[in-house]
Amino acid sequence: MSYQNQEITSTQSFTYKDIKVELKEHRLLIENSRLARLFELKHAVPQTISLKDKSSGAELAAQHDHGDFSFAGINMPHNLRGRTEYRLGKITASVVEESIFDAEHICVKLKIHEDIQQVSFTRKYFIYPDLPYLASQTGIISKVTPLMYWTRRGGMYKTDLYKQHSPATLESCEDSLKLSDNLHPAKAVEFAGRTDYTHDHVFEHENPAAMFNGNLLFCENTSGDGLLFLQEAPLSGERRDFEEYDFRIDEKNTVHSCCWGINAHEVSPEKELFSYRHVLVLYQAGDAITSLKNYLKTRFPQNPQRDYSVTVNPWGSGGFPSLVSEQFLIDEINASGALGATHYQVDDGWQKGRALSEMIGNNRHMTREFWDFSREHLPNGFDHIATAAKDAGVELALWMAPSCNCEYRDWREFADIVYDYYCRYNIRMFKIDAVMTRTKEAEDNLEKMVRHLRERSKGEIFFNFDTTNGQRPGYFLFLEYGNIFLENRYVCHSWGLGYHPETTLRCMWRLTKYIRPQTLQIEIPDFKAINREFYAEKKRLQPDIYPADYWAAVPLFSNPLIWLAPSRLDPEVAEIYRKLIKLHLEYRDQIFAGEIYSIGQEPDGSSICGFQSHNAASGSGFLVFYRENNAAPSAQIQSAVALNGNLAVTHIAGSSNSSVAQNTENELTVTMDKSCSFTFYSYKLH
């Protein structure tokens, strides 16, 4: 049987593995062995009737009294503002095979049309075999522009004259669910980018009500079972939507998951535009974070041979553009090989245009010539440099910045430039900087470029998305195309936030609570390049109160970013870094094969904290602990997952005499005799 675009009718259902899609008397059922969502289609726009967790038998949703989605300024079936004539077109289901972009899943499509406005929607649902996830995405194409004042200036919507504009008519809701009586919103998690300006990347909002921001919303019953909403969207402060919130909860306990990423003026009859994916993840008590991380692992597959790295980026040295020459880069690559790094990334300054400031400062229109080599500094291009990289066993990587100041309309030309460097020099990793997705057009063009290059290279080309400034994809969008360059933290400059192992550990620890650190690059600067006046002026502890091996151990459970010029690194420090890089690479694939969790007290300069990688299939894992400067020598630490058995630990490495003892099934006592130290263990359950 062919599973491509099979039409679903009242006489023909769709089945694949444990997935079933069935239409009966205006009711559509989408289910697998883990969940079942039932929709009413009498008014064409789906209304959720039920959402069942098949593992527990719990009912998670009550019957909706309006459609599950809406778009601001478009009259919907239950919108009293205007008459509508909605009708349902074809319903189809198809198998989407496993690829570099996603795991195998089923895509169910509903075609919906409204005759008065001449607006059409494509409603998509994504369901995975034997997994408790159901995602949705909605497309819109319209002969009319959404009917609303597309501005919030003057507070016009708050006046009596416009009081008919309720929140529901002013928001674009991608999915909504009326929670069952025993469920309530327990926690929302909001994230921040623009990391050049803040160390605070994660904000937790307990028991949220009314309107609030976040990419994540956890809803639970008193037993701790529940569901979470995930918005595969940019971070809250970088969105383009009209509504000033990401979620709304109404008086009927209905959660409205907003954020399409499309402005009203962008809707047109020429092109169908699609929202972000909004995902429902079901979980049992204690398994919320594991379920989230398992979803992210499923949704964004990683290839250990291509997607993991220890990357040297010399921009952290503070003066890279002035150093660029063929001999300097060859020396750098040889030093990177001696460190054991896997990649050397040439940053801004190699190109004929010489500087990113030409685009983001002077607003220069970028041409093909801009991305040629600076023949003054690199007369042979990368010819000799690529040879040196091959001889040193280091992959050459490159920084580039596509044209944000023309909404990436030149993406095809830029993609050809990137692909040419891939073919000529086997450059597979490209850092993408200066991203500004100010419009839906810009975001779609950027995605076309990176998707095209991934496909054209059969998955070989991979991107590091810089999240330090501008409007960027963030932590849940575009992860099928690469990973996250998290932050610029310098020890050598007299400006910026400055590197400190305490703040870097805290940033990684807080993010790891909700995202997979397998997708993060975490920096290790030059231990000997500290600008002491900067830290004294800021009244901060000097960062080298923590020894060099501690600096290098912070990113042990992520992708280390060697943020310095290795050819200028002190030999003693280079040897310390080399040993930690070797340690990371020896155990990396095993660590990354598990799910990684933050454990211990949040880093604040006086805690024992760390990370746990747990492989549920093998009942084994790894632990790394950090004793901060003012921490007591021992701490009781809860395991991130249930340790069903006796824990046998093996010490692997560290800078402290230490021990780990199992107190109860899920509690450990960790003892470390030295402050500012780390310790690394493997474990097995018996």
Here the CATH number for the domain that contains residue 202 is 2.70.98
Instruction: Give a yes or no: residue 598 inside a domain.
Output: no
- Dihedral of CA atoms 502, 505, 506, 507 in degrees, nearest 10, equals 120
599 located within any domain: no
Centroid of chain to Cα 434? 18
Q: What is the mean pLDDT of residues 596-618?
A: 97
Give dist(CA 73, CA 262) in Å, integer: 12
Residues 230 and 288 occupy one common structural domain: yes
In a domain, 482, yes or no: yes
Looking at the predicted structure, is the pLDDT value of residue 156 above 70? no
Rounded mean pLDDT, 335-364: 94
Distance separating alpha carbons of residues 653 and 643, to the nearest angstrom? 23
Digit-coded pLDDT (tens) for 397-448 = 999 999 999 999 999 999 999 999 999 999 999 999 999 999 999 999 999 9
Residue 85 shares a structural domain with residue 140: yes
The gap from C-alpha 7 to its chain's centroid, in whole angstroms, comes to: 34
- Decide if pLDDT at 474 tops 60: yes
166 vs 79, 212, 253, 275, 610, CA distance in Å? 10, 17, 17, 22, 47
Residue 185: CA count within 13 A, CB half-sphere: 30
Question: What is the phi/psi pair of residue 577, to 5°?
Answer: -65, -40
Closest to 430 in 3D by CA, of 443, 413, 414: 414
Burial of 313 (0-12, 13-18, 19+ CB in 10 A): buried
Confidence of residue 354 (pLDDT cuts 50, 70, 90): confident
**Does 95 map to a domain?**
yes
pLDDT value at residue 168:
72
pLDDT at 587: 98
pLDDT of 153: 67
Task: Please state, in angstroms and rounded to a whole number, the distance separating the CA atoms of residues 633 and 606.
Answer: 10
Closest of 453, 478, 456, 452 to residue 465, by C-alpha = 478
127 closest CA partner among 27, 21, 216, 54: 21
- Look at residue 170 in the predicted model and tell me its pLDDT: 82
Helix, coil or strand: residue 67 = coil
Same domain as 151, residue 204: yes
Across 592-676, where does the E strand assignment appear?
Answer: 595-600, 608-615, 620-627, 634-638, 647-654, 658-664, 667-672
Range of the domain at 519: 304-593
Give the SS3 label for residue 247.
strand
Q: Report, as an integer, the average pLDDT of 481-507.
A: 98
Q: Is 657 helix (H, G, I), strand (E, B) or coil?
A: coil
Map residue 434 onto helix, strand or coil: coil
Coil, helix or strand for 130? coil
In angstroms, the CA 303 to CA 282 distance is 26
Per-residue confidence band for 1, with pLDDT thresholds at 50, 70 and 90: very low
Query: How much is the pLDDT for 157?
Result: 58
**So what's the pLDDT on residue 350?**
96
444: three-class secondary structure by DSSP: helix
Alpha helices (runs of H) in 532-652, residue ranges in sequence order = 532-537, 548-553, 571-593
Quick one: pLDDT band at residue 80, thresholds 50, 70, 90?
Answer: low
Residue 354 or residue 518, greater confidence: 518
Using the structure block, give the residue that is written with the tokens 């990793």. 429
> Are residues 311 and 294 part of one domain?
no
Query: Is residue 86 one of the residues assigned to a domain?
Result: yes
Same domain, 491 and 573: yes
pLDDT tens column, 167-196: 777 899 999 999 999 999 999 999 999 999
Q: Where are the beta strands (DSSP E) in 72-168?
A: 86-96, 105-114, 119-127, 133-142
Phi, psi for residue 7 in degrees, rounded to 5:
-75, 140
0.85 cut: is pTM over it? yes
- Domain assignment present for residue 601? The answer is no
Residue 448 CB neighbour total at 10 angstroms: 14
What's residue 76's pLDDT? 94
Residue-averaged pLDDT of the chain: 95
Percentage of the chain with pLDDT > 70? 97
Out of 208-217, 352-361, 452-461, least confident range: 352-361
Are 615 and 523 found together in one domain? Answer: no
Does 546 share its domain with 626? no
- Give the C-alpha separation, 514 to 226, whole Å: 16
Name the residue among 444, 504, 506, 452 with its Cα closest to residue 473: 444
- 647 neighbors 662 (Cβ within 8 angstroms): yes
Three-state SS sequence of 585-596: HHHHHHHHHCEE
Dihedral sign for Cα atoms in the order 499, 503, 509, 512: negative
Q: For residue 625, what are its two tokens? A: 């602990």
Taking the CA atoms of 549, 554, 560 and 562 in sequence, report the sign of the dihedral they define: negative
Nearest C-alpha neighbor of 371 from the set 385, 350, 388: 350
Nearest to 487 by CA among 507, 473, 471: 507
Q: Which is nearest to 680 in space by CA: 624, 637, 635, 629?
A: 624
What is the SS3 assignment for 16? strand
Alpha-carbon span 14 to 174, nearest angstrom:
25
Q: Are residues 396 and 447 in the same domain?
A: yes
Same-domain status, 379 and 501: yes
How many Cβ atoms are within 10 Å of 159's Cβ, its own excluded?
A: 10
Shared-domain flag, residues 358 and 400:
yes
The reply to whether 602 falls in a domain is no
Q: What does the alpha-carbon distance between residue 185 and residue 248 come to, in Å, rounded to a whole number?
A: 11
Single residue among 274, 299, 324 that ends a domain in this structure? 299
CATH code for the domain of 326: 3.20.20.70
Statement to judge: residues 480 and 615 lie in one domain:
no
Look at residue 665 in the predicted model and tell me its pLDDT: 84
d(CA 269, CA 144): 8
Residue 163 has pLDDT above 60, yes or no: no
> In this structure, is residue 2 part of a structural domain?
no
Sheet holding 595-600, edge to edge: 595-600, 608-615, 620-627, 677-685, 647-654
Residue 394 CA to residue 133 CA, distance in Å, equals 39
Nearest C-alpha neighbor of 443 from the set 234, 268, 299 = 234
Q: Is the pLDDT of residue 164 over 80?
A: no
H or E, element range at 293? helix 288-299
How many Å apart are CA 464 and CA 486, to the nearest integer? Answer: 9
Q: Are residues 269 and 347 in the same domain?
A: no
Asked if residue 32 lies in contact with residue 202, where contact means CB atoms within 8 angstroms, the answer is no
Total count of domains within the chain: 3
Res 2: pLDDT? 41
pLDDT of residue 603: 97
Domain boundary among 299, 320, 337: 299
Asked which of 567, 593, 619 is the last residue of a domain, the reply is 593
Cα distance between residue 179 and residue 61, in whole Å = 4
Helices (H), 457-521: 501-512
| Extended beta strands in 128-276, E state | 133-142, 173-178, 184-191, 202-206, 211-212, 216-220, 226-232, 247-249, 254-258, 273-274
| Position 497 pLDDT exceeds 90 | yes
Alpha helices in 313-469 (DSSP H): 320-323, 326-339, 357-360, 383-392, 411-425, 440-456
Residue type, 423: C
Give tens-digit pLDDT for 361-391.
999 999 999 999 999 999 999 999 999 999 9
Longest dimension (CA), the chain: 77
